[in-house]
Amino acid sequence: MDWYCFKDKAAMVEADVTLKYVAADEYSRDFTFKGIKCPICGAAYVPEKMAIGRLSTAESLAEGK
């Protein structure tokens, strides 16, 4: 299945995607993973499995829960 950017109508490409987690106490951490993003505007797609699994776990670790 091909994915397209809603804004630019361009085909999304596989790329490294970096998210920044910032906690209320100014703590921040970058998370980089393989994903897809628009080659024009840079909008990225975070797959559900990644958001629920790896990023949720990383958030819990960052907050010390």
Is 5 domain-assigned? no
Is 2 domain-assigned? no
Q: For residues 20 and 50, what is the distance between their CA atoms, to the nearest angstrom?
A: 15
Is 3 domain-assigned? no
**Residue indicated by tokens 């080659």:** 39
- Summarize pLDDT for 5-61 with one digit per residue, the tens: 999 999 999 999 888 877 766 777 787 888 899 999 999 988 777 777 766 666 666
Burial of 46 (0-12, 13-18, 19+ CB in 10 A): middle
The answer to whether 58 and 21 are in contact (CB under 8 A) is: yes
Is 38 domain-assigned? yes
* Residue range of the domain that includes 44: 13-63
Q: For residues 30 and 21, what is the distance between their CA atoms, to the nearest angstrom?
A: 6
Q: What total of structural domains would you count in the chain?
A: 1
